[in-house]
Structure 1
Amino acid sequence: MRVFVTGASGWIGSATVDELVAAGHQVVGLARSDASVARVEAAGATALRGDLDDLDAIRRGASESDGVVHLANKHDWANPVATNAAERAVVETIGTALAGSDRPFIVASGIAGLASDRPATEADPNPFVGPDSMRGGSENRGFDFVDQGVRTIAARFAPTVHGIGDHGFIAAIVAAAEQQGVSGYIGDGTNNWSAVHRSDAARLVRLGLESAPAGTRLHAVAEPVVSTRSIAEAIGEGLGLPVTSIDPADAESHFGFIGRFFGLEMSATSTETQERFGWTPTGPTLAEDIAAGAYFDVRVS
């Protein structure tokens, strides 16, 4: 299969490219810089120069593919309106290019906001609809194309897709601990996050691309519930810092942008995903990665 991947040189995307190439697929990766081009080509894929604002390049990549994996996101925390608008425009461009073809289209999504008082399941609909909602309502917008002959699949990733070299949410929490001299959690720290190792997430993307029917919601979740207090305790132990509660009112000043999320319930199960697609996570747990030092030489970029 010729697969077009956005975010091909990113954290999840580069692992996904490796997974697809190893499985014998021909991969074309969207690359926005010379460094990204080099990383994509070093992985055995072909680079297509462009970024999320280059809808012509994205249309070309999708049109010439047998399937699309859309993983890129601007992650501009200072300008969420522009980030959400770009996300929606890309999903609409890809969906239109694939219309009537029955080709697969993996849309990256998340589990935040699916449920507030329990772990979310694959049966939970995404509440974000419309261009002004989180991620521009991209999961639901992608599913709009199912009726137009696109095999759209939502890949809902745990809030932490962890591993050595991760510059995401956990790295931001570690950076805050180092800066503040304490490893903090918000409130009583009993809210939970889910976690998945990067290698497991990439394998699930491949399985979904190859076999998931239209309208499937995949949960890339290996550990359904990891309390935020236990995350802070693991970081504190690794850095040799005291662990303390942070008042919710002080969360953003203490943690930076990640304070908006660290106090939220962002947990989910993946029972249906594992049973339907034979996906059994095998990578290290989040605690194991933290204990191994995966985050202590990493800085947020």
Structure 2
Amino acid sequence: MHVFVTGASGWIGSHTVDDLLAAGHTVSGIARSDSSSAALAAKGVTVLRGDLDDLDTIRRGAADSDGVLHLANKHDWGNPTATNATERAAVETIGEALVGTDRPFVVASGVAGLAQGRPATEQDPNPFVGPDSMRGGSENRALDFVDQGVRSIAARFSPTTHGTGDHGFIAAIVAAARERGVSGYVGDGTNTWAAVHVTDAARLVRLGLEQAPAGTKLHAVAETAIPTRAIAEAVGEGLGLPVTSVDPADAEEHFGFIGRFFAMEMSATSEGTRELLGWEPTGPRLLEDVAAGAYAEAARR
């Protein structure tokens, strides 16, 4: 299968590209910079120069493929309106290019906000609908195309897809601890996060592309519920820093943008995904990664 990947040089995307190539697929991907282009080309990826706002390139990449993985997102926390609009436009462009083909279209999503008071499951509907909602309502918009002959699949990622080189949420928490001189958690730290190692997430995305029926919601979740206090304790131990509670009112001032997320309950299960795809995570657990120094570089920023 020839797979078109947005975000091919990103954190999850680069590992997914490696997994696709190892499984015998060919890959094309968008790259914004010379360095990203060179890295992808060195793997044997066909490079399309552009970014998420380059809808003509996205349309061409999707139309010329046997399936699409949409893993890119601007993640501009200072301008969520623009980020959401770009995300929705990209999903609509890909979906329209695939109408009537029955080709797979895997769109990245998340587990945040799916359930209250319990871990989210694959059966939970995504509450974010419409262009003004989180991620521009991209999961639901992608699934709209099922009725138009597209094998749309939602890949819902844990709040932390971790591993050495990760520059996401855990890296931001580590960097905040280094800057503040304490490793903090919000409130009593009993709210929990789901987690998955990046290599397990990459393999799940590839299996979903190959096997999942239209309309499937997959959960890239290896660990259901890690208390945020335990995350802070692991970070503190690794950095040799004291661990302390941060008042919820001060969370964003203390942590930066990550504070709003570190205070949230973002737990989820993946039993349905494992049964459907035969997927079993084998990578390190989050606290093992932190203890092994996977985020040492983040600590020095």
Residues 227-270 of structure 1 show CA distances to partners (whole Å, capped at 9, x for unaligned) of: 00000000000001000100000000000000010000001000
CA distance in 1, matches of 2:252, 2:132: 23
- Does structure 2 retain, via aligned residues, the 8 Å contact 1:167–1:299? no
Q: Secondary structure at the match of 2:68?
A: strand
CA distance in 1, matches of 2:242, 2:4: 46
Q: What is the CA distance between 1:299 and its match in structure 2? A: 6.1
CA distance in 2, matches of 1:91, 1:84: 11
Residue of structure 1 equivalent to 2:232: 232
The correspondence of residues 104-119 of structure 1 with structure 2, limited to 5 A, is: 104-119=104-119
Q: Secondary structure at the match of 1:298?
A: helix
- Does structure 1 retain, via aligned residues, the 8 Å contact 2:232–2:243? yes
- Does structure 1 retain, via aligned residues, the 8 Å contact 2:194–2:222? yes
1:31 partnered with 2:31: yes
Q: Secondary structure at the match of 1:4?
A: strand
- Does structure 2 retain, via aligned residues, the 8 Å contact 1:168–1:300? no
Unaligned runs of 5+ in 1: none
Q: Secondary structure at the match of 1:297?
A: helix
The correspondence of residues 3-14 of structure 1 with structure 2, limited to 5 A, is: 3-14=3-14
Residues 121-159 of structure 1 show CA distances to partners (whole Å, capped at 9, x for unaligned) of: 000000000000000000000000000000000000000
- Does structure 2 retain, via aligned residues, the 8 Å contact 1:143–1:215? yes
Please tell me the residue identity of whatever aligns with 1:35. S
CA distance in 2, matches of 1:140, 1:299: 37
Residue of structure 2 equivalent to 1:259: 259
Percent of matched pairs sharing the same residue: 76
Q: What is the CA distance between 1:116 and its match in structure 2? A: 2.3
- Does structure 1 retain, via aligned residues, the 8 Å contact 2:52–2:86? yes
Q: What is the CA distance between 1:285 and its match in structure 2? A: 0.3
CA distance in 1, matches of 2:116, 2:76: 25
CA distance in 1, matches of 2:162, 2:187: 24
Q: What is the CA distance between 1:46 and its match in structure 2? A: 1.1
Please tell me the residue identity of whatever aligns with 2:195. A
- Does structure 2 retain, via aligned residues, the 8 Å contact 1:167–1:300? no
Q: What is the CA distance between 1:39 and its match in structure 2? A: 1.4
CA distance in 1, matches of 2:213, 2:262: 33
Please tell me the residue identity of whatever aligns with 1:169. F
CA distance in 2, matches of 1:300, 1:197: 22
The correspondence of residues 179-190 of structure 1 with structure 2, limited to 5 A, is: 179-190=179-190
CA distance in 1, matches of 2:20, 2:298: 27
CA distance in 2, matches of 1:254, 1:43: 40
Residue of structure 1 equivalent to 2:84: 84
CA distance in 2, matches of 1:74, 1:25: 26
CA distance in 2, matches of 1:153, 1:255: 33
Residues 6-47 of structure 1 show CA distances to partners (whole Å, capped at 9, x for unaligned) of: 000000000000000000001001111111101111222111
Residue of structure 2 equivalent to 1:211: 211
Q: What is the CA distance between 1:300 and its match in structure 2? A: 9.6
- Does structure 1 retain, via aligned residues, the 8 Å contact 2:178–2:300? no
Residue of structure 2 equivalent to 1:58: 58
Please tell me the residue identity of whatever aligns with 1:61. G
Q: Secondary structure at the match of 1:59?
A: helix
1:122 partnered with 2:122: yes
Residue of structure 1 equivalent to 2:160: 160
**Greater mean alpha carbon deviation, residues 16-25 or residues 32-41:** 32-41
Point out 4+ residue stretches in structure 1 off by more than 4 angstroms: none
CA distance in 1, matches of 2:284, 2:190: 23
CA distance in 2, matches of 1:193, 1:31: 31
TM-score (norm 2): 0.99
